[in-house]
Amino acid sequence: MSMFSIFNVSGSAISAQSQRLNVVASNLANADAVAGPDGQGYKGRQVVFETVPMGSDASAGVRVSSVNESNDPLRKVHNPSHPSADADGYVTQSNVNPIEEMVNMISASRSYQNNVEVMNTAKTLLLKTLQMGQ
Amino acid sequence: MITNMTSGLDFQAKALVLRAERQRVIASNIANADTPGYVARDLNFKDAMLQATGADSSSGLRTGSSNPQGGATNGMTHPAHIALSGAAGGSLGGSSHLAYTAQSQPSLDGNSVDLDRERANFTDNAVRYEATLRFINGQSKTLLSAIQGQ
């Protein structure tokens, strides 16, 4: 039954989107984290999606092929009174842009909702098919 | 006799399988809405249905202008050619009708999924799937009441 593979396809998309949401959550949580003694602050992460064929050639699921660290420069804030400030009075913070992350979050949650709706519709149709002839 | 009775059901059954196929393709598009480089696909239902019904005389799909063979020639260019068994006129679920959808708003990452259009297509296809189901249910109920004669 070809419609059953919708659950595999949408399920893979849901799991990929939730991983993306997870990465956004850790980025946002660390947005204001300051660098430790080694001077290395938190670097924002981004997931990379990749199409993965499922069964026949028409079904295409998604998977996260890699999680990349951002190479943007770390943010430096002038705050001489901070205990982690360097000799010039600068504190190194993460390179996460909270606005970008919020947009990313909304996009991920909308895509997640879309795929849940696809699964619900497919489930309704399959249940109605089961009742055929009754 | 029995073929006359069930030919209508047969037609609807083919339509149902093709609707399910299209539903699957659109689900793949929605799943890949954020994948870079993914190209959206869609199933041309009319062509697929013409090929699926092929020489089936009971089909209601005699659209005037299209060529009489429909899409059922399967690359055969000579009457003496032997049809491939897997690709005979009645074959369903083949991917030969899968086309690439036109890009409405080009994006930098090469993804051609238009989520609004895909969602509209998905709902449209779901309603038509259900309509086909109801046709099948109605026809089978008619047949059953004719058989029982009550």
Chain A residues touching residue B137 (CB < 8 angstroms): 132-134
Contact by Cβ (8 Å): B126, A121? yes
Of A56, A125, A132, the CB nearest to B126: A125
Cβ–Cβ gap B20/A3 under 8 Å: yes
Local structure of residue B108 (DSSP, 8 states): T
Residue B6's pLDDT band, with cuts at 50, 70 and 90, is confident
| CB–CB contact B24 A60 (8 Å) | no
CB-closest option in A58, A114, A124 to B98: A58
Q: What is the pLDDT of residue B3?
A: 78
pLDDT at B96: 63
Residue B95 reports pLDDT greater than 90: no
Highest mean pLDDT among A39-43, B71-75, B125-129: B125-129
**Cα–Cα distance between B107 and A80 in angstroms, integer?**
45
The pairing of beta strand A90-93 with beta strand B41-43 = unpaired
| pLDDT-wise least confident of A54-58, B20-24, B101-105 | A54-58
Is the pLDDT assigned to residue A58 strictly greater than 80?
A: no
> Do the Cβ atoms of A132 and B37 come within 8 Å?
no
In the prediction, which pLDDT does B120 show?
A: 93
Neighbours of B21 (CB within 10 A): 24
Contact B32, A114 (CB under 8 A): no
Q: Cβ contact (<8 Å) for B126 and A121?
A: yes
User: Does the pLDDT at position B72 exceed 70?
Assistant: no
pLDDT band of residue A85 (cuts 50, 70, 90) is confident
Contacts with A, B 58-87, CB within 8 Å: none
Q: Rounded to two decimals, what is the model's pTM?
A: 0.76
Average pLDDT of the residues of chain A = 89
Residue A80: strand, helix, or coil:
coil
- Closest CA relative to residue B70, chosen from B79, B81, B61: B61
How far is CA A78 from its chain centroid? 31
B30 lies within 8 A of chain A by CB: yes
Q: What is the average pLDDT across A108-130? A: 93
Question: If you average pLDDT over every residue of chain B, what do you get?
Answer: 77
- Contact (Cβ atoms closer than 8 angstroms) between residue A33 and residue A94: yes
